[in-house]
Structure 1
Amino acid sequence: MGEPRKQGGKWKASDIRSLLKNEKHTGNALLNKRYTIDPLTKETKYNYGERPQYFVQNSHEGIISWELFEAVKEEMRRRAPIKKALPHHGKPFTGLLFCGACGAPFNRKKTPVRVFWRCARNLGMRDGKCDMKGIPEQVLEDMLCELLGTNDLSHENITAKIEEMTITQPNEIVFFMKDGTEVKRTWKDRSRSESWTKEMREKVAEQNRKRARHE
């Protein structure tokens, strides 16, 4: 991992997984994995059964056999680490979000300014150290609403379509779907002033007023 790619950037584990799970290498093609939801903006969405999909055999010359392709998928399943499902206690992302650097789960952290999810080792909740960057909860919620097509982010709704989520590198997350597909998303950091809501400002102002009265 870490070797430069011809298209730019560096190779990551998620890139290798995507290559190994791409049926096009066998000479076959699954069509309509995505569909356009707005022809003006060209916005697309992953197809989870909303539209017909078509499997075209021998659409082009393959570089590996179908048998080898299936054997690779089976080996990937065999090697996959067994991750114990954690009780979510009303926090729907618990037990679903993992660190791509060390494999530890992400835990929820709340501060007066924001709520975010960060590697358990980064938070000191597990042995060892990890410097993987966290993800703001609002960013994750917005991504899931768009990906799942619903504002109901209950644990049941999420796990119906998503196997797990992995922060593969700073500002990048990969959603591993139940149908075997992978969806990669990135996000931009907001400045501190942008991340402060009106309620946050009022709460901090009230805390400052209380502190001033006791001084």
Structure 2
Amino acid sequence: MTTANTAAAGAPRITVIDPRAPERAKLRVAAYARVSSDSDDQINSYIAQVDFYSKYIASKEDWEMVDIYADEGITGLEARRRDDFNRMMEDCRAGKIDRVLVKSISRFARNTKEYIQFVRELLRLGISIYFEKENIDTGKMTSEQVAQIYGAFAQMESTNHSGNMRTSVRMRMEKGLFVPPTAPYGYRLAGRDLEIIPEEAEVVRMIYSAYLRGQGKEDIARELNRLGTERGRGRQKWHPSTVHYILTNISYTGDMIWQKSYATDTIPFRQVRNHGEKPQYFAENCHPAIVSREEFQRVQELMASRREQFTAGAKPRESVYSGHIFCGECGSMCRQKISSGKRYWVCHRHDKSKADCPIPQIPETEIEQAVLRLCRKLKQGSGRILRPVLGQLRELRERELRSNRRISDIDKEISHLTEQNLVLVRLKSKGYVDSALYLSQTDEIGRKLRDLRKLRRRILDSTGEDRQIQATEQMLVYLEEIPERMDQVDAGAFEELIQRIIIVSAEQVRFQLHNGLELTEKVERAVR
């Protein structure tokens, strides 16, 4: 800095300030780490990733660490289940991050659709992503096709992993070592074994005895509801379909049939009924019986006899509509009926007595045409119908998250624990903390983080918006895959799109979709 001398008395004194280069803003860098299971090896991998990225970012003078986001012990197939990934995306949208480091594409996303969606969003926000394993920097990519190719590789890796899991399950079935993920009503899992719940077993025996005495499934369900019998797992009401499930479940004889359903080979994975596409395994005497094999067999024979009598000698084919059509007047489930070679769907009460319910039977062909029109309209108008609904649901969820004090407190605690973890990493790297203390402290912090994330997920799962968002996203994926004009209704329409069909009248049906949306369609009478 210099001072200029002036000859004139009283002239202002001028001080020249030397120019200085402004401080260069540091690049705000975050890292995302994810492991796929809760095993010890994977947890060590998680600690190693956090340690590596903490040191790596600290070694760059022009980088500033924002945070290390890490999900552990949960599936990576769907981003909605990764709490820290979603927290990172929220921070990106809030302008807190300039660059994201990820070990590999498969750690960032496990299907092409999500991969492209999030890469595009971060690029629009001006945020680059560096994938270490593939040596890809999205900030330097000239074509999105490159990203799509690598995204496809990530999906292939996920599909291969799922295939390995299915092979492992199949081998356990072949060796008789398979443990079902859930226990049927009347049993509970005790380690690797099924054990009887005495009070529920009595209900099962009562259902079998009542049916063999001549009571129908509707009457049995009505009686159980009148007695206030609990269904277990917090469910109260009994339905004829629940009674039917118990009467046809061979598990109550002490035997089991494994792989009655299976997961599809492509993303999004869906559980579908096994109609012979995959082998099934009959496990004999694998747990205590509640009813005898003879009693179970008598029930199956009686059920077949009643079914034969109902259809007047014509055996109904397996229908995709079974369990999905209900009466709009009395709420009863509709059943399939064959008359003069034609298939109809009719309300139980109307079929017994027209005075009990006025809703008439409707030909299956007319219902099928209504479903096909609905699918066509939803596919053509998804941008006007489902996508705005998805946007509104996401906005509602964001409001819920912002206003939910418990979520806010959990996020603060997660952030606080993550900061503690980073401090420990820095102290360890400088030799201030020995390895034993470091591992014990990071293990404790990791345990607390896992508990907090599980609690956060339970709170999110309890909100209706989260379930509706997932259902709407799955519906959009299904609609993208089906042709413009479907020739017939397949099981996928009910697995992904339609929850139930309600017959309002002979001229109108109402569709309840999986995301809670309800739409009506006219029934166009066929020319007779």
The answer to which structure, 1 or 2, has the higher relative contact order (CA under 8 A, 6+ apart) is: 1
Q: TM-score, normalised by structure 2?
A: 0.22
Q: TM-score, normalised by structure 1?
A: 0.47
* Structure of greater Rg: 2
Say which structure is richer in strand.
1
Say which structure is richer in helix.
2
